[in-house]
Amino acid sequence: MTTQRYSVTPHPIDTLLTWVKSGEIAIPEIQRPFVWDKSKVRNLLDSLYQGYPVGYLIAWRNPTVRLKDGTPSAGKRILIDGQQRVTALMAALLGREVLTKDYKRERIRIAFHPGKEKFEVHNAAIAKDAAWLGDIVAVFDPGASLVELTDTYAGKNPNMDRKHISRIFEKLRGITNNHVGLIELAENLDIETVTEIFIRVNSAGTELSQADFAMSKIAVNEEHEGNLLRKAIDYFCHLTVAPEMYSHIKETDTAFAKSEFLPKMSWLKDVNDDLYDPTYTDMLRVAFTSEFGRGKLQDLVAMLSGRNFETMQYEEVIVEQSFTQLKKGILTFMNKTNFNRLTMILRSSGFLLNQLTRSRNAINFAYILYLQGRTENLPADDIEYITRRWYSMSILTRRYSGSPETAFDVDIRQIRAQGVASYAASVIENELPATFWTGMLPQSMNTSSSTSPYFIAYQAAQVYLGDKGFLSTDITVRDLLLNSGDKHHIYPRKYLQRQGMNRGLYNQIANFVIAQSEINIAIRDKEPDHYFRELIKQCKNGKKLYGGITDLEELRTNLETNCIPTSMIDGTVPDYKDFLAERRKLMSLKIKTWFESL
């Protein structure tokens, strides 16, 4: 027989809001940016007014932990699902300010039209229309008199029946009596089970849900300044994207400004670099894995709850140690030297731009590897060499694309056991044998995804090796990528479309080169056989049609550099599919040359 792991109790909205205000239920999202659009707040209120269900809220009380004196202490209930709905209600009904995505405090004003019984987000037109009640907060103010509200409204709208207005206002105020089901998870559930439930009720996915759960655990622990730590994570992530917000944070959040965190991230105010803009999930992964030697965020949730993995009991000393350790990891993450060294390593490998660093988890583990190398006091040059090769290997093998948490957990445990240098060398040798470059990689490059890791690695290789752009005499691939150069189809798209080929064929990555836009425009949709013959003539008569190359050997070198079969200028333009097969092999060897020279 299955034991029920939860209880369901309907509660009036008014009661739930009172509990949130008193701290009986902790809603950490109040301190984070409100992600709902204002129209969703309006729709929520309309559903309540119409008597429609608005879903369940899910709360879980922290497991009981043993304090230092041996006495038990039960934690707060944490609202783990429904945070946005409750925040919306507190904003619209109680007038609470929310934190916007720009980290500005803002009031969400929802207007109401008693005649039409319609809700709308407050705007300038509504402000001028006496038929609208501009802000429904006036109805829910505990000191408000519905009689006075009715009289005031009726005075402005003499054509409406006063009794009808009064009934409508009573109906509106009555939505706080509507019941919402509160699912309370059993207090004795272990962290793994609660995490599993949390993941199942959220559709956003395991990775995001576990990070959200961990962030909720951090925020509600006031004793260990969890809310301050959570703000540090949020603010750092925001400043990497919008450094201009530094002064705003400093001026508006004076308590945080006085903490040790803001000075540690002040360097971001002068940085405009989007190569690595971490999310709070990224920060948690790196800080937790590098500091705790574990890769699964559910373990972080367990440790922040006080779980002793040996005794399977919950202890306050574990809570204290975990918060101290996590804080150290977060400060290490946001350290200017560490962060800048990581991005320097990525750039020096050829990954110049944000669009060349698509695999976020590969970057995260590269950062972990770098920090572990520093912990082991390896020479700086060795750390850079290992990190550069590990990240590139991770990209080529898609190491962290499947089950990143499992891969993180395995890798960090082995690194702790074997050491960074030894483990990295053995993994790279095993993952990239000689047959990888001639067999597996060319096969994997049979794709039309321009964001595939293989095309990204190929572009990084061209940057690193200083290659010239397709048919360019002086402009390098680096120059072109930094200035939005074109991805040119060697066999033009329209030419292939005329042959009846679909997108999956004409957009193969082996059909792309990085070229100057004027060269791309000049070639247009000409048949390869035609424009390659003209290129040969260009080298003979010096009349420039496509780029500036007028020497046959220079042209041959440029084609070799861009992994284009030189048979194209030796009188044999191959069939398109044969061309793709040959070019994949050449591109794979280019990537091999790059990797071995890192």
The distance between the two most distant Cα atoms of the chain, rounded to a whole number of Å, is 95
Q: Which of 580, 72, 141, 37 is nearest to 314 (CA)?
A: 72
- Please enumerate in sequence order all residues whose Cβ is within 8 A of that of 196, keeping only pairs 6 or more positions apart, or say none: none
Instruction: Give the whole-angstrom CA distance, residue 345 versus residue 81.
Output: 40
Q: What pLDDT, on a 0 to 100 scale, did the predictor assign at position 203?
A: 45
Indicate whether 204 pLDDT > 50.
no
| In the predicted structure, residue 207 carries a pLDDT above the cut 70 | no
- The predicted structure's pLDDT at residue 529: 92
Q: Is 598 helix (H, G, I), strand (E, B) or coil?
A: coil
Main-chain dihedrals φ then ψ at residue 476, nearest 5 degrees: -90, 165
Does the pLDDT at position 165 exceed 50? yes
Report how far Cα 570 is from the mean position of its chain's Cα atoms. Answer: 49
Residues 6 or more apart whose Cβ sits within 8 Å of residue 3: none
**Euclidean distance between CA atoms 282 and 241, whole angstroms:** 14
Q: How far is the C-alpha of 28 from the C-alpha of 113, rounded, in Å?
A: 33
Percent of the chain beyond pLDDT 90? Answer: 65
d(CA 468, CA 360): 29
3-state secondary structure of 133: strand
Contacts of 495 (CB under 8 A, 6+ apart): 525, 526, 527, 528
Tokens found for residue 108: 């969400």
Between residues 408 and 186, which one has the greater pLDDT? 408
DSSP symbols for 392-416: HHHHHHTTTSS-HHHHHHHHHHHHH
| Pairwise CA distance, residues 374 & 538, whole Å | 55
Task: Tell me which residue of 74, 305, 61, 17 sits closest to 185, measured CA to CA.
Answer: 61
Q: Tell me the mean pLDDT in the region 374-399.
A: 97
Confidence of residue 30 (pLDDT cuts 50, 70, 90): very low
Give the 3-state secondary structure of residue 450.
coil
Segment (H or E) for 180: strand 179-185
Q: What percent of the chain has pLDDT over 70?
A: 92
Convert the pLDDT of each residue in 262-318 to its tens digit.
999 999 999 988 899 999 999 999 999 999 999 998 899 889 888 888 887 878 899
Q: Torsions phi, psi of 488, nearest 5?
A: -100, 140
Counting DSSP H helices and E strands in the chain, the numbers are 31, 13
* Residue in 368, 388, 514, 394 with CA at minimum distance from that of residue 453: 394
Cα 124 to its chain centre, rounded Å, is 35
User: 354-373: per-residue pLDDT in tens?
Assistant: 888 988 999 999 999 999 99
Task: Give the up-direction half-sphere exposure of residue 328: CA atoms within 13 A in the CB hemisphere.
Answer: 11
Does the global pTM surpass 0.85?
no
